Each structure stands twice: as C-alpha cells, then as structure tokens.
Amino acid sequence: KAGVTQTPRYLIKTRGQQVTLSCSPISGHRSVSWYQQTPGQGLQFLFEYFSETQRNKGNFPGRFSGRQFSNSRSEMNVSTLELGDSALYLCASSLESSGIYNEQFFGPGTRLTVL
Amino acid sequence: AQKVTQAQTEISVVEKEDVTLDCVYETRDTTYYLFWYKQPPSGELVFLIRRNSFDEQNEISGRYSWNFQKSTSSFNFTITASQVVDSAVYFCALSEAFTGGGNKLTFGTGTQLKVEL
C-alpha cells in the first residue's frame, strides 16, 4: 500500500504570494490532518479534514485554509505569505474508526521557503 | 491543555553507548495515547511506538525500549548500543481526542540525538 504523498516537496515563494500544498492520503483513509513544523514553534496542529469538511482546527490565522475532495485528497492554502510561514508542512492521514485513537501516518512533508 | 516536555534539546553519544531520551507529559484526560516518532534529515516522521494510558508495561523492540510511568507522567525512550544510523530528532507526542471526532497530536520540542563514531 502506498504511503502518504505530498507535493511539491520544496517550494520557494515571496512575501504576499499565496501557495497551495497537496496531500494524497493512504488509500482508504478518510481523515487528513495538517501540521506545521518550524524551528521556533515546533510541530503544531493546523487542521483536520474528514468527509470533505474541516472537522477540527488549531490556532492559526484565517490565512491558513484547506479543503478535502471526495477522494480524500486534501489541499492546504496559505494566502498573503509572511516570512514566518517558512516551515515544513506535514500531512497525516488516518483511518476513521470509533474510539479515541486513530493512528496518523505522516507524509514526507513540503518544505516552504518564503523570501 | 495538553503539554509534552522534552527537556533534552540535544544529546551526543559515542557509538555503542546507551542513551535515554526523556519525555514528560501533562493531560487531564484519563484515556490517552503516547507516541515516539523519529525524524531523520529527510523530514518524514517515522512512527516508533504507541502506548495507551492503561498499559504501563514496558516494551522492548530490538535495541529500543520504552518506560511508561503514569505516577510521574513520563514516557522515556532508551536506545541500547546506539549506532550512527540512530542520529535523528526524536519526538514524543500525546494524542488528544476531539469531542466531535478525530484527534490531534501534541508534540514535544524534540531531542536531537547525534551518535558519533
């Protein structure tokens, strides 16, 4: 079974631009979560999508948004880029099931550099 | 709010030494899961272990072992006879469930492990 894939792997943008990152979950996984990793703030939860709906959200400004398609693929968008948005963006997918825990499988990440 | 503390920012050891990575967590949940992930320079988070709050048995997997103690809210990770390939950043994480479904991981700040020849 193929793992979580993310495209592109590397991206360079300038301040003020917007960017779209893509994530394809493991086949059969319906939940996709996004995390931001920076040297200063570490790994932080951005949001989670399930059944094409944003189900949970972390503490990030509205410039960060996302969506999920019917095939569970997800995109995240960052508008009006700031230097501080430079980070590794990790996507994780999980198989929705009852109970507290759904194991998250991570992709390789997209490294975004904002100049 | 949930919190995970990894007080060791960086550890350097010589190959074949044993090394323990510390993790202390805070949660008000009675049911929770703890994890360790390895992040090599490539960036991908590699899952190492999951432990639920009701299972305090220590676990050993090859050169890796984990010590979970609810009384001290700690979930420490030991690598025996370290190797250069163990060099990476290691993250401890705590799973938090949302009322409406789904869960998120709260990560510690990570410990950079450097194993030298």
pLDDT digits (tens, 9 = 90+) for B80-112: 999 999 999 999 999 887 777 778 899 999 999
Is residue A88 within 8 A of residue A10, CB to CB? The reply is: no
Residue numbers in A near B108 (CB within 8 A): 42
Euclidean distance between CA atoms A109 and A7, whole angstroms:
8
Residue A96 scores a pLDDT above 90: no
pLDDT band at A97 (very low <50, low <70, confident <90, very high): low
Euclidean distance between CA atoms B75 and B92, whole angstroms:
8
The sign of the CA dihedral B49, B112, B108, B103 is negative
Tokens 């997918």 identify what position?
A93
Is residue A48 within 8 A of residue A66, CB to CB? The reply is: no
Euclidean distance between CA atoms A69 and A53, whole angstroms:
9
Looking at chain A from residue 29 to 88, which residues have their Cβ under 8 Å from any Cβ of chain B? 31, 33, 35, 42-45, 48, 50, 55-56, 58, 88
**Which of A91, A104, A111 is most worth mutating to test chain B (most B CB atoms within 10 A of its CB)?**
A104
Is residue B23 within 8 A of residue B108, CB to CB? The reply is: yes
Of all residues in chain A, the percent with pLDDT exceeding 90 is 85
The nearest alpha carbon in chain B to A57 belongs to: B104
**Which of B38, B104, B106 is most worth mutating to test chain A (most A CB atoms within 10 A of its CB)?**
B104
Q: Is B95 on the interface with A (CB under 8 A)?
A: yes
pLDDT digits (tens, 9 = 90+) for B34-57: 999 999 988 889 999 989 888 888
Euclidean distance between CA atoms A38 and A55, whole angstroms:
24
Q: Which of A96, A104, A107 comes nearest B105 by C-beta?
A: A104
Helix (H, G, I), strand (E, B) or coil at A83: helix
Min Cα separation A58/chain B (Å): 9
Q: Is B2 on the interface with A (CB under 8 A)?
A: no
